[in-house]
Amino acid sequence: EAGVTQFPSHSVIEKGQTVTLRCDPISGHDNLYWYRRVMGKEIKFLLHFVKESKQDESGMPNNRFLAERTGGTYSTLKVQPAELEDSGVYFCASSQGAGGSTAKNIQYFGAGTRLSVL
Amino acid sequence: GNSVTQMEGPVTLSEEAFLTINCTYTATGYPSLFWYVQYPGEGLQLLLKATKADDKGSNKGFEATYRKETTSFHLEKGSVQVSDSAVYFCALSDLDNQGGKLIFGQGTELSVKP
């Protein structure tokens, strides 16, 4: 079974440019999460999809970030325009259910996309 | 709000040394607690978990006990190997959030030398 895959693994862009990150969750997982780790600090929640609907986007830093999950399969996270402080590692995770620690609610993570804004 | 605090790294140990990575949390209620590990070039992997007070999670020789009285979930291993070199993250599930988002500590980098 394929795990969570993220593309690209690394992206280097200039300030002001646009970048789109992609996440393919594990097949059959309705729940998809985006997280970010900036400058070696804690991993912070960005948002949560249930199928194609945004369940919680309380962690999105500002309106330069746009996440979509059309059709409830893969998700994209677009940053437009990118700023220096957006640099970090963006993680995607998926799970069958949500909340707690039962087996079907465990979140499985991708390897992350390292974004460098110069 | 809910939060997780981990001991700062990096931690450098010799092979077969004893490992402790401290983790304390602040939360309302009794969240589930997790340790995730990120090996170089890979994604976060669930290492172990505990769902209630006094539960002990264990995997690959690592252990952590859910201590309600000290709000802690310290990670331990009796004898580390070079292959344990990775970044370790302590996390809790946010009970205030129906969607089950995780709240992480800042991560502790472990380097094990032969």
Average pLDDT of chain B to the nearest whole number = 92
pLDDT (0 to 100) of residue A70: 85
pLDDT tens digits, residue range B57-82? 999 999 999 999 999 999 999 999 99
Cβ pair B84, B75 in contact under 8 A = no
Predicted local confidence at residue B80, as pLDDT: 97
Q: Are residues B99 and A3, on separate chains, in Cβ contact within 8 Å?
A: no
Query: What percentage of chain A has pLDDT greater than the value 70?
Result: 97
> What tens digit of pLDDT does each residue of A19-66 get?
999 999 999 999 999 999 998 788 999 999 999 999 999 999 999 999
Q: What's the whole-number mean pLDDT along residues B15-36? A: 93
Q: What is the mean pLDDT of residues B6-16?
A: 93
- Asked whether the predicted pLDDT for residue A105 surpasses 70, the reply is yes
pLDDT at B97 over 90: no
CA-to-CA dists, residue A1 to A25, A27, A30, B65, angstroms: 11, 8, 16, 31
- Asked which of A28-42, A101-115, B31-45 is least confident by mean pLDDT, the reply is A101-115
- Cβ-defined contact of A109 to B43 (cutoff 8 Å): yes
Residue B85 · residue B96 · CB < 8 Å: no
Return d(Cα B111, Cα B114) in angstroms, integer: 10
Contacts of B51 in chain A (CB under 8 A): 100-101
Compute the mean pLDDT over every residue in chain A, rounded to the nearest whole number.
Answer: 92
Q: Which residues of A touch B104 (CB under 8 A)?
A: 35, 42-44
A33, A108, A111: residue with CB nearest B101:
A33
Q: Does A71 touch chain B (CB under 8 A)?
A: no
Structure-model confidence comparison of residues B88 and B100, the more confident one: B88
Burial A49-67 (b: 16+ CB within 10 A, else e): bbeeeebbeebbeeeebeb
